[in-house]
Amino acid sequence: MMQTEQIRSYVMRYLEAEQCDIVEKHPAYVTVKLSPSADKDLNHRPYYWSFVERTGVTPETMTCTLIFEPEAYRELHPQPQGMMPGMAPAAAPPGMAPVQPAAAPQTAPAAPGQPVVASGQPAPGAPPQQGDSILGRYFGFVPTSFTARIPRDELTFGSRRLEQIFAAVRSKGRFVRLFEAYVPEQPKNAPTKPYESWFAVNFKVELACDMKRSEIHSIGIHLQTGEIRERFHDSIRTKKMTPRLPNHVYVTPDKIALQRAVLFLEEHLEQKLSGYDHRWAEEANLRLQDELDRIRAYYEPLLQAAEEEQRPEIEAQYQGREQEIEWQYQPRIHISVINCGLFHFPAANGAIS
């Protein structure tokens, strides 16, 4: 489970990567104007974006407040009475005064021989006053200013908005291609430097029965030599990487195609898992058989004593219960890919230390 500081750091990195504009930043919350890319990820507005793409108009993205510490935010921004939850007040646009409700009309004394006219109402035959309108006459006042409302979301672990951000990051970060930044300055006539490639995959391995254990395996393969390196992510996390090919650099052709590299990594992972101590699976099978014997001891006498018309219903319950027990207790290993990428390093440094 992620802590508040981890959520804050993760979300701020996402907003920075998406090039969103930070309007207000506080340890308890951040108010941000989303970039077009982030707006598409987090706000379900397909008709609006299809309109923008068809017409070519400048898109107007949403501004929202993301709250990391709800209690601290409520102390800083007490909610006014009558305001709907999830909405933050915002000032009226510059140059527009807030609308004041119309006061109740009062009757002023009339001169002798003149009809009584309510205060604020024009006398019969008098020219209309400035700001007078039909709507003003019938409804008392006409709203002439616009008050923006900024939606706010609490980003706690498991919240809908945080899950949206996780999904956006997963969909956009499934594959990357990065180059080690070439720091030393080179003269214009310097020879180009060769870079060699590594292909790396982050696998998620789940050992599941009625209990579950998850592992992440980061494995890379050198596409020139076929060398396979465990804990690949740890070996490159301190290196400075860039998505752009550095100057005076070229990438040497690979000797291993990506399709074969994937097969080599999968075989390596399978061999590693086959060397595990699998007593957990044997124990899970014993618990599975125990549960099957228990429900069999319950349902078989029930079937024998049941009337003919009741047996189909009892048999369906029996089969359903057996399937539930097998799904819960049967040991299995599930392997999935989190993300993968191509990483390029100087040829002299091909075998990453």
d(CA 239, CA 230): 17
User: What average pLDDT does the segment 191-202 reach?
Assistant: 92
Among 239, 210, 243, CA closest to 341: 243
Residue corresponding to tokens 């029930």? 302
Tokens of 308: 């003919």
* pLDDT tens, position by position, 239-275: 998 888 888 888 999 999 999 999 999 999 999 999 9
Q: Is 217 exposed, middle or buried (0-12, 13-18, 19+ CB in 10 A)?
A: buried
Among 202, 248, 197, CA closest to 223: 197
DSSP output for 12-75: HHHHHHTTPEEEEEETTEEEEEPPHHHHHHHS--HHHHHHHHHH-PPP---EEEEES-HHHHHH
Among 134, 130, 142, 67, CA closest to 99: 142
User: What average pLDDT does the segment 135-148 reach?
Assistant: 54
pLDDT, mean over the chain: 81
AA letter at 320:
G
Model confidence, pTM: 0.63
Residue 310 is predicted with a pLDDT of: 87
